[in-house]
Amino acid sequence: MDALRSHEPAAVTARLRVRVRGLVQGVGFRPRVYTLAQRHALTGWVRNDGEGVLLEVEGRATRAFLADLAHAPPPLARIDAIEHDPIPTQGEQAFRIDPSSAGAATTRIGPDTVVCDGCLEELFDPTDRRWRYPFLNCTHCGPRYTITRGLPYDRPRTAMAPFSMCEACAREYADPLDRRFHAQPTACPDCGPQLSVPIETVVTALAAGAIVAIKGLGGYQLACDARDSSVVERLRRRKHRDAKPFAVMVASLAAASRIAHVDDQAAALLAARERPIVLLPRREDSGLSDALAPGLDTVGVMLPAAPLHYLLFHEVAGRPSGTAWLDAPPDVAWVMTSANPAGQPLVIDDDEARASLGGIADLIVSHDRGVLVRNDDSVVQADRRGPVFVRRARGYVPTPIHLDRDRPPVLALGGYLKTTICVTRGREAYLSQHVGDLDDHATRRFHDEVREHLLALVQSTPIAVAHDLHPDFPSTRAARSVGLPTVAVQHHHAHLAAVAAEHRHTGPLLGLALDGVGYGPDGTIWGGELLDIDGARYERLARLAPLRQPGGDRAALEPWRMAAAALWALGRGEEIESRFPAERSAPAIASVIERRLNTPETSSLGRMFDAAAALLGVATTSAYEGEAAMRLEALVRRPVTSEAFGFTPEGELDLRPLFERLAGVDAQTGAELFHGTLIHALAGWLEDHAHGRGRSTVALGGGCLLNRVLRQGLVETLEASGLTVLTPRLAPPGDGGLSLGQAWVAAHTVEGS
Ligand SMILES: [Zn+2]
Ligand SMILES: [Zn+2]
């Protein structure tokens, strides 16, 4: 820490000029500097400018001041650097906060953040003027990303522009020692946004079994009683969502423990200010409807993210004063899921809500503050290494991921499924919120909007645009239309490059990309690849011995097709029909595979999971990609290792012996055998290559790493053999992290050209 290595002798009056960079504007940084300066009896000044915060302090305790500032910044600040230089003393009498210098742009916008403790106290304090006001916030909390149009960050460029502050709010806003000093979204019941429906009415409707659409921070959510199967099933029917799990919101950690097993890591994530949905093992006695997550043993749980959410629980609790009721919260659990008509982006517009949610929701709860950009709830798994992102959005975006050093500014447009966008500026990589699958027009338009919004907020001028190697993806076409030099990046190269980027790993890196599907330059479908990457370059060292994928893309939703391919590969094609009597195409499929009709080869581990799940009778079809694998994982109590695998003469890892074993065991035995053997085989395979090349660090990437059993097993086995294992921590392992890897590869390509 530079701040502590100051050379000034202690207890002598000195003056320092200090530059602070990072997310330091609009987060109460100047008041904190002011308070610390008072505490250390320093004079001088502080101001915002185009580079962050600039300040000068003079006195005997400048070193202690710097240490305090570095160690205890305001809660939402993120300090990237504190630089300081000694300058001549000036002998002022006081410390002051200067108005921002002309052209002072807020250099970075923060994410939307949960209600802080101070605001929560006010929310439930009947004597406070913001008692039960659903839009209260301060410099330490509230909406940011979703209400901001562009830089500089000030009220006219936010969704708060139409609301003029009342006298009381204006006083707080102008007072450097107030929690709302320069809080751009600040508001109160007299001057701020208003809810369209009383809280009481919403709670009554939920209790009566209604489906309610609620306008939240990043868009509309659909809520209903999570214990009432008839309403959950009704929601599923109306949303045309057959099996995808619904998340549940409860009032507090105490309430979460009633429905799920919450360990320390999970508790920390649930309570985190980013307020993600955390996937947790469901309790047997949770009382939740089985229709929430059919076939899965987990439940996505979220604590209140916005004041409005808190007020719903507060109403059920009988409007108690203070916050103690959250320790003994009301026994309610509500489904809280994105309000998007099947496959389409989240609804943010009020007219759109009436038009497209009218057929889904019995009641629509709106308000008059706009949502400028959609932002879904984030979804994470709790892992001993920290969160693993299933979906990275609200709360985390637009916090940048720091690269190893300044890199050329580039734009990356992601893949096809679970798409995100990435923009770099200097050493910062800004990964967008989850956009979704680009198979419909509305999502493609959203993809364009996110690109524009992110470029406006980051104020980066990219010099190249990266896209997937697949020539026909909408994101690839969008990249070509940007008018910049394009860089095509192979899908699994991008997955491992994303890991290299976030871990700031430079030089060659050996890794496994364990994934669903990615376009391979050889015309096959990749997804179980052992790659050696180095910046813009990659080499495919080996792959999983491929299976045939009859029906092409259809196989991803019809796992029985992959089981048929595995049986055919074992010379047991004649069993297909009797094993899958319900599938009309089963009798003909052996001949389809044999003759390679619409039957590419695939080395995708995701498809191998499908084959295993269907062979074991766990799932013959999937409602969404990966469902069969999730159901298979749910059966595993303890993975069981076997030597049922081999290698082809080309060094491909051959799983046929494992499929042979699965064809003769029950579902649970098979699930445990599949996971255990896979961990053993994949780890040994990677270790051999690492030793062969003298590498001590390896990487794991790709969507299959969302399988906890596989991920934890691989990491433990590889670490036990002495290897350092890099895994995705800051970006999703799956296709949501693809754009980060694409950006990393494009930046290297530009530098190398
Ligand atoms: Zn607050
Ligand atoms: Zn006001």
Per DSSP, the three-state class of 15 is strand
Whose atoms come closest to the Cα of 160: which ligand? Answer: 2
- Kindly report the three-state secondary structure assignment for every residue of 82-115: EEEEEECCCCCCCEEECCCCCCCCCCCCCCCECC
- Alpha carbons 316 and 313: distance in angstroms, whole number: 5
Beta bridge partners of 338: 221
CA 717 from centre of chain = 27
- Per-residue pLDDT for 103 more than 50? no
Q: Which is nearest to 485 in space by CA: 266, 752, 144, 149?
A: 752
**Cα 140 to ligand 2 centre (Å):** 18
The tens digit of pLDDT for each residue in 552-587 reads: 989 989 999 999 999 999 999 999 999 999 999 999
Q: How far is the CA of 160 from the centre of ligand 2 (A)?
A: 12
- pLDDT of 255: 97
Compute the distance between CA of residue 466 and CA of residue 745 in angstroms, rounded to an integer: 8
Nearest to 330 by CA among 225, 478, 434: 225
State the Cα–Cα distance between residues 173 and 186, nearest whole angstrom.
8
Among all bound ligands, the one having the nearest atom to the CA of 166 is 2
In this predicted model, what pLDDT tens digit does every residue of 597-638 receive, in sequence order? 999 999 999 999 999 999 999 999 998 888 999 999 999 999
Start-end of H helices in 323-399: 350-357
pLDDT computed for residue 71 by the predictor: 93
Distance of CA 460 to the CA centre of its chain: 22
Q: What does CATH list as the number for 2-97?
A: 3.30.70.100
Span of 12-26, 393-407, 738-752 with lowest mean pLDDT: 12-26
Determine phi and psi for 156, rounding to 5 degrees. -60, -20
How far does the centroid of ligand 1 lie from the alpha carbon of residue 335, in Å? 26
State the angle between helix axes of 627-634 and 708-720 in degrees (0 to 180), rounded to the nearest 10: 70
For the record, the structure tokens of 504 come out as 């700031």
* Closest-CA residue to 416 (of 349, 335, 355, 476): 476
Alpha-carbon distance 613 to 563, whole Å?
Answer: 8
Peptide bond before 152: cis, by omega within 30 degrees of 0? yes
Strand 334-338 relative to strand 220-225: parallel, antiparallel, unpaired?
antiparallel
Q: Does domain 542-726 have CATH number 3.30.420.40?
A: yes
Query: Residue 544 belongs to what H/E stretch?
Result: none
300: left (phi over 0), alpha (psi -120 to 50) or beta: beta
For ligand 1, the distance from its centroid to the CA atom of residue 369, given in whole angstroms, is: 18
Least distant ligand from the CA of 74: 1
Contacts of 684 (CB under 8 A, 6+ apart): none
Percent of the chain with pLDDT over 70: 97
Q: Which ligand is nearest to the CA of 187?
A: 2
**DSSP three-state, residue 385:** coil
> How far, in Å, are 57, 67, 87 from residue 13 at the CA level?
10, 17, 11
Mean residue pLDDT of the chain comes to: 94
Rounded Cα distance, 655 and 544, in Å: 8
Q: To 10 degrees, the CA torsion angle through 79, 374, 430, 80?
A: 0
- 14-23 and 52-59: which strand pairing? antiparallel
pTM (global) more than 0.85: yes
- Whole-angstrom Cα distance, residue 432 to residue 434? 7
327 residue type, one letter: D
Is the pLDDT reported for residue 506 higher than 90?
yes
Q: Provide the strand spans (E) within 646-686.
A: 646-647, 653-654
Residue 703 φ then ψ, to 5°:
-60, -25
What's residue 102's pLDDT?
Answer: 46
CA of 175 to the centre of ligand 2 (A): 14
**Residue the block writes with tokens 């669903």:** 516
Q: What is the pLDDT of residues 643-669, one digit of tens each?
A: 999 999 999 999 999 999 999 999 999
Res. 100 pLDDT band, cuts 50 70 90 = low
Ligand nearest to the CA of 139: 1
> Does 232 have pLDDT greater than 50?
yes
Question: What CA–CA distances, in Å, run from 667 to 325, 607, 608, 664?
Answer: 45, 18, 15, 10
Shortest-distance ligand to the CA of residue 164: 2
SS3 516: strand
- Considering only CA atoms, which of 253, 251, 293 is closest in space to residue 269? 253
Distance 322 CA to ligand 2 centre (A): 22
- Cα 229 from Cα 358, distance rounded (Å): 21
Burial of 441 per CB tally in 10 Å (0-12, 13-18, 19+): exposed
Looking at residue 106, its pLDDT comes to 53
In this prediction, residue 624 carries a pLDDT of: 85
- SS3 of 167-222: the string is HHHHHHHHCCCCCCCCCCCCCCCCCCCCECCCHHHHHHHHHCCCCEEEECCCCEEE
Q: What is the pLDDT of residues 333-389, one digit of tens each?
A: 999 999 987 778 888 888 888 888 988 999 999 999 999 889 999 999 999 888 999
Distance 179 CA to ligand 1 centre (A): 8
Structural contact between residues 662 and 572, judged by C-beta atoms closer than 8 angstroms: no
CA distances from 282 to 92, 222, 225, 491, 653 (A): 62, 21, 17, 34, 35
| Cβ(639)–Cβ(676) below 8 Å | yes
Query: Average pLDDT for residues 200-212, to the nearest whole number?
Result: 98
CA pair distance 418, 438, nearest whole angstrom: 8
**Closest by alpha carbon to 462, among 750, 730, 745, 731?**
750
86 C-alpha to ligand 2 centroid (Å): 43
Query: Considering every ligand atom, which ligand is closest to the CA of 165?
Result: 2
| pLDDT class of 104 with cuts at 50, 70, 90 | very low
Mean pLDDT along residues 113-142 = 96
Give distance in angstroms: CA of 481 to centre of ligand 2: 46
| Residue in the structure block whose two tokens are 């959609």 | 374
Q: Which fold has domain 109-258+299-380?
A: DHBP synthase (3.90.870)
CA of 183 from ligand 2 middle (Å) equals 12
Q: What is the Cα–Cα distance from 325 to 188, expressed in whole angstroms?
A: 24
Cα(139) to centroid of ligand 1, in Å? Answer: 6
CA 726 to ligand 1 center in whole angstroms = 36
CA 404, chain centre distance (Å): 21
Helix segments in 296-440, DSSP class H: 307-316, 350-357
- Paired with 477 in beta bridges are none
Angle between helices 627-634 and 605-615 (to 10 degrees): 60
Please give the Cα distance from 555 to 192 (Å, whole number): 52
- Å from CA of 223 to ligand 2 middle: 30
Residue ranges covered by each domain of the chain: 2-97, 109-258+299-380, 542-726
The two tokens of residue 314 are 């507060």
How far is the centre of ligand 2, averaged over its atoms, from the C-alpha of 166 (Å)? Answer: 4
* Residue that wins the pLDDT comparison between 72 and 413: 413
Identify the nearest ligand to the CA of 190 by its number: 2
Written as one string, the DSSP assignment of 694-713 is: T-SEEEEESGGGG-HHHHHH
**pLDDT value at 133 more than 80:** yes
Q: What is the mean pLDDT of residues 213-224?
A: 93
* Distance from the alpha carbon of residue 215 to the mean position of ligand 2, in angstroms: 21
Q: How far apart are the CA of 133 and the centre of ligand 1, in A? A: 12
Ligand nearest to the CA of 173: 2
Strand 428-431 versus strand 401-402 pairing type: antiparallel
From residue 312, give the alpha-carbon distance in Å to each of 135, 316, 426: 13, 7, 43
